[in-house]
Structure 1
Amino acid sequence: MTKVLKNIKGDRVIWAIVALLALFSFLPVYSASSNLAYLYGDGNTFVFLIKHFAHLLLGFGIMYWVHKIPYHYFKGLSIIMLPVVVVLLLFTMAQNNTIGGANASRWIRLPFVGVTFQTSTLAAVVLMAYVARYLSKIKDKKISFKESLIPLWLPVFIILMLILPANFSTAAIIFSMVIMLVFLGGYPLRHITVILGTGLLALTFFILTAKAFPDAFPNRVDTWVSRAENFFNDKDTPEDYQIERAKIAIARGGVMGKGPGKSVQRNFLPQSSSDFIYAIIIEEWGLVGGVFLMFLYLMLLFRLVIVAHKSSDVFGKLLVIGVGLPIVFQALINMAVAVELFPVTGQTLPLVSSGGTSIWMTCMAIGMVLSISSSREAMIKEEQSDFDNTKESDVNPKEENPLEVLSEAI
């Protein structure tokens, strides 16, 4: 264990924030999983706690392993992994899974281990790394829209169209993050406007197609429309059940909360240990706990900006933004949904909600950020070592050997 701690590199504050989020997650997950224990098990919530611990343990293992990889390798890895994730997304879509009659083709079951894996989360990390690589490659070059169409935008739209039918919110977040990244990467604004218009047209075409052929995409478009209408209208409908229960949980929490494990709404709120865990946290820990959790994510954002600013090259800066910022963005969306500032999206709270894939991919992204940070630290140490050696040679010049001086004179 001591050897592992000595080998931990990168931004120590980010390590601390991730550790705090992971430690904080145990009590809410243990408390909120009680309804799942009675619905799908024998009432033993300890099993869900062990499962969450295993997910976090594997996630930290991934983060440690990834942060030891020199970040320049992620350029080539993003190119290699891009076709892999496309195949995984095609395989996931081909399963045509449904839950309650609705399209739920988001997961694949890993052979031999029996664990489900959400392929869209892996695709998001790989795609952001790929876009960062391309933008760093064309930096300070004049690239026309036609020249960037195939190498940049074709992979983006292929992945988005494979994710969209089953998971609109994830596709929308990925598209938003790609647009933000290309904007920060210096991609021409007029070209970004064209892409935004194209994306809007593609979404409209998909919705019209789904309406015309409802059997092709069961209930997904209806779900999107229903959630949007419920958010903008004040009418009470059965679809409002989740958000109403979440608001009741938040109202009961008050300033200091009811105490750990004393939530009542966990027994009535669906997805209380994943999508709506923030409401359970406020009910048990109050406004103080909710603000503290938000503060941790904002601190993570602050450290991401610092790491990006200190990165020695363009690829490092863009990679930190591309894989790091979506974590904070997703967290803020999850919180906004719980307090009804945003329509229901189904996004989890990174590193806090239960769920293996979300934890693993978040840890992978943070590991990439730490790799960039550790490379900066190694560079500083190397420069300091060179400076110290130069200074020592100036202070203590090498003494000349008389025999060598004589031989040179002869």
Structure 2
Amino acid sequence: MTPSKNREFDYTLLTALFLLVITGLVILYSTSAYNGDVKFHDSFYYLKKQVFATLLGIAGMFVVANMDYHVWRHFAVLGYLTAILLSVAVLFIGDEINGSKRWLSLGPLSFQPSEFAKVALILFLAQMVTRNVKDIGKMRTMLKIMLMILPVVGLVGASNLSTAIIILGIGVILIFVASPKYGQFIFMGLLGVGFMAVFLALESYRLERLAIWRNPEAYEKGYQTLQGLYAIGSGGLFGRGLGESIQKLGFVPEAQNDMIFSIICEELGLFGAGFVLILFLILIWRFFVIATHAADLFGALIATGAMGHMMIQVILNIAVVTNTIPNTGITLPFISYGGTSVMFLLVEMGLVLSVSSWVK
């Protein structure tokens, strides 16, 4: 049966998404006002940039949501090749900010190609798995698809290991969902561990992060982790109150970025942090529902890829903030400061909304 567009968007997903975006902007202002005032003499500096990126992202989301998602099958390979080219460009002409070369500048604007790579990879893998669905159970086919994504994982990982882990995780989840033979993933998992071990060994600072994680008190670079834990612990059940954080006043460096969850815990307590997590859980639940009711395999894999992306990024960010895993510099979706991140996340949500509006 040919898929047709005769269903409304998933309004539960839309409601949870807008609540999360609004909550994120409120928390971002509360967290960034001090840094904005100190560095730029404008407490609204970070908020204004994030609102601009969010509005662009929402516009892009609705444009993509109202398009036939099957169109993207024709651009999936081109999008993936573009992601590789942009990742190569970062290595040679990228801008270095805070010691990391992750940005490309286009006039007055700058963006992170790694955020584009996540969306491009979801479409590319959805297309590759759909094209090879009859042979997906064969080890040769699985290895072929995994090898296809290693170039972008390697290029992104050269400057941004955390995003490379997310990209690799998305790939594993999509192939795992499509494959009927789960036993093969033991071998695939060992390959993945080996790949990450090589990346860790290539740069000494990555091995140093493991030592800092085990004993943050013994290292100067463990300061951020300790201050984040102090913020979480001081929040209690109900928090100090919105805007009342002490740790954001320079104690947690760049609190509006990766460590923003610790400030949520400090200001809003366990209940406020729980509310944010519930919104993420609703998003993930709706991704799952949309994937299971998708009109075809391509649509199901797009929704599954978005679900995997959201799950991995949220879990890793919170794990880093609570020092459950070493610090990897992963942002909290829709909450942490980052214009490129929020724009491409919203476009990704547009893809899922498009899938939700089609039926068999």
Aligned residue number for residue 255 of structure 1 = 237
What is the letter of the counterpart of residue 156 of structure 2? I
1:95 pairs with 2:77: no
Deviations 1:68-87 (A, max 9, x none): 11111121121121111111
Determine helix, strand or coil for the equivalent of 1:340: coil
Q: Distance in 2 between matches of 1:355 and 1:235?
A: 29
Aligned residue number for residue 331 of structure 2 = 348
1:161 pairs with 2:154: yes
C-alpha displacement at 1:96, in angstroms? 5.7
Which of the residues 204, 208, 212 maps onto 1:230? 212
Aligned residue number for residue 239 of structure 1 = 221
C-alpha displacement at 1:202, in angstroms? 4.1
Q: Distance in 1 between matches of 2:46 and 2:40?
A: 10
Which of the residues 78, 82, 104 maps onto 1:108? 104
C-alpha displacement at 1:323, in angstroms? 2.4
C-alpha displacement at 1:98, in angstroms? 4.2
Which of the residues 340, 346, 349 maps onto 1:363? 346
Contact 1:300–1:328 (CA under 8 A) maintained in structure 2: no
Determine helix, strand or coil for the equivalent of 2:262: helix
Alignment of 1:313-332 (within 5 A): 313-332=296-315
Determine helix, strand or coil for the equivalent of 1:351: coil
Q: Percent identity?
A: 27
Provide TM-score, normalisation by structure 1: 0.80
C-alpha displacement at 1:365, in angstroms? 1.1
C-alpha displacement at 1:124, in angstroms? 1.4
Segments of structure 2 that go 5 or more residues without pairing to the other structure are 1-6
Q: Distance in 1 between matches of 2:215 and 2:46?
A: 37
Determine helix, strand or coil for the equivalent of 2:237: coil
Aligned residue number for residue 295 of structure 1 = 278
Aligned residue number for residue 71 of structure 2 = 73
Structure number, greater radius of gyration:
1
1:56 pairs with 2:54: yes
Determine helix, strand or coil for the equivalent of 2:111: strand
1:121 pairs with 2:115: yes
C-alpha displacement at 1:145, in angstroms? 4.2
What is the letter of the counterpart of residue 245 of structure 1? Q
Contact 2:90–2:101 (CA under 8 A) maintained in structure 1: yes
**Distance verdict in 2 for CA 1:307–1:50, change over 3 Å:** same
Which of the residues 214, 231, 252 maps onto 1:269? 252
1:138 pairs with 2:132: yes
Q: Distance in 2 between matches of 1:200 and 1:305?
A: 27
Aligned residue number for residue 180 of structure 1 = 173
Deviations 1:182-222 (A, max 9, x none): 011116446544444444444444555x3xxxxxxxxxx22
C-alpha displacement at 1:26, in angstroms? 2.2
Segments of structure 1 that go 5 or more residues without pairing to the other structure are 1-7, 211-220, 380-410
Deviations 1:339-375 (A, max 9, x none): 2222212111111111101101111111110000011
Deviations 1:260-317 (A, max 9, x none): 1111110121121121111111111111100011111111111111111111211111
Provide TM-score, normalisation by structure 2: 0.91
Aligned residues: 353
Aligned residue number for residue 85 of structure 1 = 83
**Distance verdict in 2 for CA 1:331–1:34, change over 3 Å:** same
Q: Distance in 1 between matches of 2:337 and 2:198?
A: 35
What is the letter of the counterpart of residue 233 of structure 1? N
Contact 1:281–1:289 (CA under 8 A) maintained in structure 2: yes
Q: Distance in 1 between matches of 2:313 and 2:138?
A: 32
Contact 1:249–1:283 (CA under 8 A) maintained in structure 2: yes
**Distance verdict in 2 for CA 1:337–1:201, change over 3 Å:** closer
C-alpha displacement at 1:140, in angstroms? 3.1
Determine helix, strand or coil for the equivalent of 1:109: strand
Q: Distance in 1 between matches of 2:283 and 2:199?
A: 36
Contact 1:52–1:355 (CA under 8 A) maintained in structure 2: yes
Q: Distance in 2 between matches of 1:147 and 1:341?
A: 35
Q: Which 10-residue stretch deviates more, 24-33 or 240-249?
A: 24-33
What is the letter of the counterpart of residue 243 of structure 2? G
